[in-house]
Amino acid sequence: MEDNSESILLEGKVPIRLIQEPYCKKCLKEVSEGEDFCSFCLSPDFEDFYFNEIKAIGSYHSFDTFFNKIPVNILSELILMLKYGRYEQHRRYAGLLLADGLFQIINQYPNLIENTSYLISPPKYGNEENQCDYIINPLREKLKEYKILVENITEKAVRLRNTENYKKLSREERFEEIEGIHSININDLEGKKVLIIDDVLTTYATVWDLSRALKEKNAGEINVLVAGRSRTFDEWDVPKDLSFDELLIYFSNLDIIRDPNKINEVVIRNFKFLKDKYISCEFSGTRDKYDLYIDFDRKNLEHNCRDFEITRIKNKGFCKHIIKVFLKIKDECGEKYTRKLLRFIYWDLDSWEFELS
Ligand SMILES: [Zn+2]
Ligand SMILES: [Zn+2]
């Protein structure tokens, strides 16, 4: 890891960049240099926020391609893993790391939890799984170690309607659409403090209306703590200074931390590497043979294992074979050079083609 005071480590291992200034002091949205609030938060139509403040671990940003969302940073990968991870163990793993991140933010801003009685996450409509449980449960355990006891009242909250075309609406329309959608099945919150926990904050219409419903039941101060603050860059906009470790964690979709043995076991054969030009090699597994070809001029990566085909092509990630190749290059050419190669791919990932060979 490079020395970087603007990042935190989840569970001592996974580096996450904090949100870069300038941002809106109310909702953390990006603003122009010198501005304290975004135009929306300054709007006179918007009299009452209901909540006190919003904090987040970092930026959530996924780049939309025709087929898919490509997460641009490690935090966004974790959030997508929490929301859409195919296996429960992956969602659980993501929740555990994110809970540690939220816990660190609470340490930075103790008012979020001081004298707070309740945690709540926005309820789902009907029987849909609420992935925030994977964050809230380990977070409550961590707080308990510090003798901070908070009750999770998410089950007392109800979402009265589904909002299907919600994502197509403008920010203003979302607030109109969502007003009144939440209700809390508790008669009197007795002026007690509440902390709302969510995975991603997009327009904050949801936490705004949930706060309204809580206030209706006499909640005291309400604060909001989310894993990712969604940012709205239209272009592929990524940090330029990622370290070798960050790049490897990012490209492996965290496999290198979660399951390093899987990568260690890979055996590389017929390795050919022309610096800055191409990488070509084969892998012999127990059952099948695979090959890999990376062309740095054409920005093209071809490979054919099943994991690559099913899960990596669509988010432009690396399977264990490709990660192992970059570890080999690191052994032969050093970390600095390998980092340069990985950055070359990362900076331009939107124009790289990942294909099945
Ligand atoms: Zn704002
Ligand atoms: Zn592979």
DSSP string, 23-67: B-TTT--B--TT-SS-HHHH-TT-----S-EEEEEEEE-EEE-SS
Compute the distance between CA of residue 52 and CA of residue 183 in angstroms, rounded to an integer.
19
In this predicted structure, what is the pLDDT of residue 40? 84
In this predicted structure, what is the pLDDT of residue 69? 81
* pLDDT band, very low/low/confident/very high, at 236 (cuts 50, 70, 90): low
pLDDT greater than 60 at residue 127 = yes
Please report, rounded to a whole number, the percentage of residues in the chain having pLDDT higher than 70.
94
In-domain check, residue 321: yes
CA atoms within 13 A on the CB side of 245: 10
Average pLDDT (228-236) is 76
Compute the distance between CA of residue 258 and CA of residue 249 in angstroms, rounded to an integer.
10
In-domain check, residue 112: yes
Of 95, 120, 105, 22, the residue nearest 58 (C-alpha): 105
* pLDDT band, very low/low/confident/very high, at 47 (cuts 50, 70, 90): low
Q: Which ligand is nearest to the CA of 28?
A: 1
CA of 74 to the centre of ligand 1 (A): 24
CA distances from 31 to 20, 22, 175 (A): 11, 6, 20
Pairing of strands 222-230, 69-71: unpaired
Task: Please tell me the pTM assigned to this model.
Answer: 0.93
Compute the distance between CA of residue 75 and CA of residue 60 in angstroms, rounded to an integer.
7
CA of 289 to the centre of ligand 2 (A): 10
In-domain check, residue 252: yes
Q: Which ligand is nearest to the CA of 30?
A: 1
In-domain check, residue 81: yes
CA distances from 218 to 121, 151, 192, 204 (A): 18, 16, 8, 21
In-domain check, residue 235: no
Extract the tokens encoding 56. 């987040």
CA of 84 to the centre of ligand 2 (A): 21
In-domain check, residue 2: no
In this predicted structure, what is the pLDDT of residue 46? 65
Residues 215 and 294 in one domain: no
Give the CA-trace dihedral at 216, 218, 219, 220, to 10 degrees.
Answer: 130
Of 187, 179, 185, the residue nearest 161 (C-alpha): 179
CA of 263 to the centre of ligand 2 (A): 10
Q: Which ligand is nearest to the CA of 291?
A: 2
CA of 238 to the centre of ligand 2 (A): 25
* pLDDT band, very low/low/confident/very high, at 2 (cuts 50, 70, 90): very low
Residue 344: count of CB within 10 angstroms of its CB: 14
Compute the distance between CA of residue 163 and CA of residue 174 in angstroms, rounded to an integer.
9
Residues 134 and 179 in one domain: yes
Q: Which ligand is nearest to the CA of 54?
A: 1
Residues 279 and 197 in one domain: no
Q: Which domain holds residue 23?
A: 7-230
CA of 292 to the centre of ligand 2 (A): 8
Q: Which ligand is nearest to the CA of 26?
A: 1
In this predicted structure, what is the pLDDT of residue 234? 62
CA of 331 to the centre of ligand 2 (A): 20
Pairing of strands 157-159, 151-152: unpaired
H/E stretch holding 101: helix 88-108
**Which of helix, strand or coil describes residue 289?**
strand
CA of 139 to the centre of ligand 1 (A): 27
Q: Which ligand is nearest to the CA of 46?
A: 1
Decide: 23 and 55 in contact? Cβ < 8 Å: no
In this predicted structure, what is the pLDDT of residue 203? 83
In this predicted structure, what is the pLDDT of residue 180? 93
Residues 222 and 140 in one domain: yes
How many domains does the chain divide into?
Answer: 2
Q: Which ligand is nearest to the CA of 263?
A: 2
CA of 263 to the centre of ligand 1 (A): 43
CA of 297 to the centre of ligand 1 (A): 42
pLDDT greater than 60 at residue 187 = yes
Extract the tokens encoding 182. 């939440």
Residues 249 and 136 in one domain: no
CA of 319 to the centre of ligand 2 (A): 5
Average pLDDT (120-129) is 91
CA of 314 to the centre of ligand 2 (A): 14
CA of 117 to the centre of ligand 2 (A): 48
CA of 91 to the centre of ligand 2 (A): 22
First to last CA, the chain: 34
Average pLDDT (331-352) is 95
Q: Which ligand is nearest to the CA of 22?
A: 1
Residue 156: count of CB within 10 angstroms of its CB: 16
Give backbone dihedrals phi and psi of 137, rounded to 5 degrees, phi first. -60, -55
Residues 183 and 97 in one domain: yes
Residues 139 and 196 in one domain: yes
pLDDT greater than 80 at residue 255 = yes
In-domain check, residue 236: no
In this predicted structure, what is the pLDDT of residue 48? 72
Per-residue exposure over 263-283, b if at least 16 CB sit within 10 Å of its own CB, e if not: beebeeeeeebeeeeebbbeb
CA of 129 to the centre of ligand 1 (A): 29
Decide: 233 and 291 in contact? Cβ < 8 Å: no
Tens-place pLDDT, residues 63-93: 877 777 889 999 999 999 999 988 999 999 9
Tens-place pLDDT, residues 95-111: 999 999 999 999 999 99
In this predicted structure, what is the pLDDT of residue 1? 39
Looking at 185, 205, 230, which one is the last position of a domain? 230
CA of 54 to the centre of ligand 1 (A): 10
Residues 254 and 317 in one domain: yes
pLDDT greater than 70 at residue 309 = yes
Looking at 230, 259, 279, which one is the last position of a domain? 230
In this predicted structure, what is the pLDDT of residue 3? 41
Of 18, 19, 21, 22, the residue nearest 7 (C-alpha): 18
Residues 199 and 279 in one domain: no
Residues 184 and 306 in one domain: no
In-domain check, residue 239: no
Compute the distance between CA of residue 249 and CA of residue 178 in angstroms, rounded to an integer.
37
Looking at 201, 230, 259, which one is the last position of a domain? 230
Q: Domain containing 152 — which CATH number?
A: 3.40.50.2020
Averaged pLDDT of the chain: 92
Residues 111 and 189 in one domain: yes
Average pLDDT (124-143) is 94
Please report, rounded to a whole number, the percentage of residues in the chain having pLDDT higher than 90.
74
Q: Which ligand is nearest to the CA of 321?
A: 2
Compute the distance between CA of residue 218 and CA of residue 214 in angstroms, rounded to an integer.
7
Residues 173 and 254 in one domain: no
CA of 30 to the centre of ligand 1 (A): 8
In this predicted structure, what is the pLDDT of residue 342? 97
In this predicted structure, what is the pLDDT of residue 4? 47
